[in-house]
Structure 1
C-alpha cells in the first residue's frame, strides 16, 4: 500500500501580504445599523470594487452609498478633507452627495483589515443616472454653472487662507509606479521621468500668474455627476478633494469627455455654463493646454500606482499608446519634453 503524502499544516504556510481586501457586505450592514440612525432592517450589497469599494446600503425607507476607502500612500484620516467640505456644501444647500452623520455625530469610521486600517463613510444616495447616460448640451451647461458655484463655495470655505501647493505636485509620489508600469517601453521610461520633473516645476511657476486656486473636486468627469428624471443634478465621488487650480478642475471634466470618446461639444457647453458664474481669467485660458496634459499625466500615474490593488484593467477605456501620444504631443510645445 502506498503511503499518503503528508499534508502541510495551515501554520506552516507563509502569510501573504494583502494589497486590497474586500469587506463582507453582511458584516458592513451590521456595522452601519449599529452606528447610524437608519430604520432597519439594513442590508448591504457590493456595487463595485475599484479605486475604492462602494456598497449599496438599503434601509427600511432609504438607500445610501457606503464607501470603503482603499489603503493608499495617503493617511487614512485624510478622508476628513472631503467629508468636512461636503458637510459645508450641504449646509449651503449645494446638490452634492454628502456624508451621513453617525449617532455620535461623526462623518466616518474606521475598521481594521489585513492591509491595515481603512476609512468608511455612508453617503446620501445620488438620484438619477450618470451624465454619461444622459448626454445633453443643456445639462452640460447647467452642470458647468453649478461647478463654478461649488468653486465659489470652496473659496468661502477656505476663509481667505493661502492655498498650499502640495497637492499640485502630489502626482510625483505615483511616478515611480508609473515608471515600473512602463518598464518594457523605453521611450516612455525616458520621457515620463523628464515630464514629471518639468511639469512639477511649471505648475509651481504659474502660481505667479493670474491663475486662481481653490478647493477642487480633483476628479470631476461625466460619471461623477447624476441627472435625475426631474432634472436635478447631484455631484458625487469627491474622494480626491484638495487644493488645485480651479481651471485644472474645469479641464479635468473637459478631458474626461475626450477620454470617454464623447463629442467636444459637451466640454465646450460645460465651460460656457461655468463662465456664466465665474469668468475665466486671461491666464487661465492661456494655460488650458497645460491643464489638459496635466490631467492625462496625473491619471496614468495614478492608475499605475493603484494597479497593484485593482489591476491594470483601469486602462480599459484608453491604452498606453493613446495616453502616451496625448501627453507627449502636448508636452513638446509646452517645453516639457
Structure 2
C-alpha cells in the first residue's frame, strides 16, 4: 500500500511563516569569536528558549551570556534602550549583568532570521544562583535596597529635564487582541478582561497627576532575575523589558513574583523594607499597592497570550488561567475596575 503513495516534490512545498526560529549555538560561537575581542576558543550552549533565547558562552576561563531577542511588535532596535541603561549602570558600578561591546564598540548586532531581523547581545555572566533557589530574609532586604538605588540611578540617567510618560505602563493594550483570542472559549474572561483593560489604562494615566513617581524600571523583576552568591554578592539580570514606569509598579512586580512562585510573604516584605531604607514610599504609592499587584498579573497574562504563538501556551505551566483570572478579578472589583 505504501509503495503506491505519490511522493511530493520539494519544489511543491509551501514555505511557512515562522514565528520563532532557534539560532544554532555553533553560529553564536562563530559570530561572537568574529565580532568580539574575547579569549578563545569559545563554545556556545542554548540554555533556554522562551520569550527570548539565552545561550551560555564558555571560554577558556570566563563565561558569558548571550541573548537573542524574539521578534515582536516592537522595533528590533528598541534593545538599545536596555543596553544603554545597563551601560550607564556599569559606569555607576551597579551590580548588573551588562552588555559587552564588540570590536567596533557596539553593544549588539542583528541577524536576518526567517521571521525577520533579530538582535543579539553578549553580557557579563551573573555569578551565583537565582535568589529563589537560596531564599534568605537578610539578602531580600539587601536586594530591595539595591533595587531602590537602581531606580534613583534611572532618574539620574534620564536627566533633570526628562518628563516620564505612561506609554510603557499601558503597553498591555497592544496585547489585548491576543489575550481575547487566548480566552476565546471563556466568555466571562472575554467580557471582564476587555473592561479591566480599558479602566486600568485610564487609572494608570490619571495616576500621573498624583505623587506616584516614575523612573527607568526593570519592568519584570522577580526572584529569578537576581543572582546571589554564597557570600551574598548580588547581580541583577534580564532587563529586556526595561522602560519608563511607576517605581511602585516595579516593586510590586517583585512582590507579586514572590507570590507567583509560592514563596513566603516574608521575603516580599523584607524586599520592601530594604527598598524603603533607601527610598521611602509616598503615601499615594502605598495606596496603590493592590492596583499595581493586579496590573502585574494582568500584564503577565496579556503578554503570555501575545507570545503564545511563538513559545506556546506552556508559559502557563506555573499558574493557570483559572488562578490568574481569580487573582485579577477579585482585586479588580474593589478597585472599581470591574
Q: TM tier, shorter chain?
A: over 0.9
SS in 2 for 1:168: coil
**CA separation in 1, counterparts of 2:114 and 2:123?**
25
Pair 1:115 & 2:119 matched: no
* Gap change, CA 1:201 and 1:30, over 3 Å in 2: same
2:181 counterpart of 1:180: yes
Distance 1:5 1:286 in 2: 69
Q: Deviations over 1:204-260 (max 9, x none)?
A: 001111000110000000000000122100000000000000000000000001000
What's the Cα RMSD here?
Answer: 1.2
CA distance in 1 between partners of 2:283 and 2:138 (Å): 26
Structure 2 equivalent of residue 222 of structure 1: 223
1:48-127 matches, cutoff 5 A: 48-127=48-127
Q: What SS does the corresponding residue of 2:48 show, helix, strand or coil? A: strand
Aligned-partner SS, 2:308: helix
Which stretches in structure 2 are left out of the alignment for 5+ residues? none
> How many aligned residue pairs are there?
337
Deviation, 1:61, is 2.1
CA distance in 2, matches of 1:3, 1:217: 59
Structure-1-length-normalised TM-score:
0.99
Q: Any residues of structure 2 matched to 1:144-223 within 5 Å, and which?
A: 144-160=144-160, 161-223=162-224
Q: Look up the SS of the partner of 2:286 in the other structure.
A: helix
Name 2:326's counterpart in structure 1: 325
**CA separation in 1, counterparts of 2:314 and 2:177?**
19
1:5 CA displacement: 4.3
Instruction: Report deviation, 1:303.
Output: 0.4
Tell me which stretches of 4 or more aligned residues in structure 1 moved more than 2 Å: 2-6
Structure 1: state its 5+ residue gaps: none
C-alpha distance in 2 between matches for 1:103 and 1:62: 18
Q: Which whole-Å deviations, capped at 9, do the CAs of 1:273-296 have from their partners, x for residues lacking one? A: 000000000000001100000000
Q: 2:291 aligns to what? A: 290
SS in 2 for 1:267: helix
| Cα distance in structure 2, aligned partners of 1:110 and 1:150 | 28
- Structure 1 residues 216-295: aligned runs within 5 Å: 216-295=217-296
